[in-house]
Amino acid sequence: MSQRPAILVLKNLTKSFGKFNAVDGVDLDIADGEFFTIVGPSGSGKTTMIRMLAGMEPATSGDIILRGERINDVPANRRPTCMVFQSLALFPHRTVGENIEFPLKIRGVPPAARKEKALALLRQLRLPESYYGKSVLKCSGGERQRVALARALAFDPEILFFDEPLSAIDYKLRKTLEKELKDIHRETGKTFIYITHSLEEAMVMSDRIGVMRAGKLVQVGTPNEIYSAPRDKFVSEFMGDVNVIPVSLAGGKLISASFDRSFTPPGLPDGFASGHLVIRPEYMRFLDSPDDAENSLSGRLYNEYALGSRIQYQIRAGDHVFIVEKLRQQAPALDLDQSVLIGWDAKDSVLVRD
d(CA 350, CA 248): 14
Both 214 and 249 in a single domain? Answer: no
The confidence score (pLDDT) of residue 167 equals 75
Among 197, 228, 259, the domain-final residue is 228
Q: How does residue 1 score in pLDDT terms, banded at 50, 70 and 90?
A: very low
Whether 264 is covered by a domain: the verdict is yes
Q: What is the maximal distance between C-alpha atoms in the chain?
A: 77
Range of the domain at 312: 241-352
Whether 186 is covered by a domain: the verdict is yes
Both 246 and 219 in a single domain? Answer: no
- The total number of structural domains in the chain stands at 2
Q: Nearest CA to 290 among 324, 321, 328, 263?
A: 263
Both 287 and 215 in a single domain? Answer: no
d(CA 266, CA 256): 15
The confidence score (pLDDT) of residue 97 equals 95
Average pLDDT over residues 40-45: 92
- The percentage of the chain sitting over the pLDDT mark of 70, rounded to a whole number, equals 99
187 or 35, which is more confident = 35
- pLDDT tens-digit map of 4-21: 899 999 999 999 999 999
Three-state secondary structure call for residue 134: coil
Both 223 and 252 in a single domain? Answer: no
- pLDDT tens-digit map of 273-327: 999 999 999 999 999 999 999 999 999 999 999 998 999 999 999 889 999 999 9
Give me the CATH number covering residue 328. Answer: 2.40.50.100
Mean pLDDT (the chain) is 92
Do the beta carbons of residue 2 and residue 29 sit within 8 Å? Answer: no
The confidence score (pLDDT) of residue 88 equals 74
Both 318 and 262 in a single domain? Answer: yes
Both 279 and 318 in a single domain? Answer: yes
Three-state secondary structure call for residue 173: helix
- pLDDT tens-digit map of 156-195: 899 999 988 787 777 788 888 888 889 989 988 999 999 9
Whether 280 is covered by a domain: the verdict is yes
- pLDDT tens-digit map of 198-243: 888 899 999 999 999 999 999 999 999 999 999 999 999 888 889 9
Both 122 and 245 in a single domain? Answer: no
323 or 272, which is more confident = 323
Both 215 and 100 in a single domain? Answer: yes
| pLDDT beyond 80 at 80 | yes
Both 187 and 280 in a single domain? Answer: no
Q: How far apart are the first and last CA of the chain?
A: 30
* Model confidence, pTM: 0.89
Three-state secondary structure call for residue 163: strand
| pLDDT beyond 90 at 56 | yes
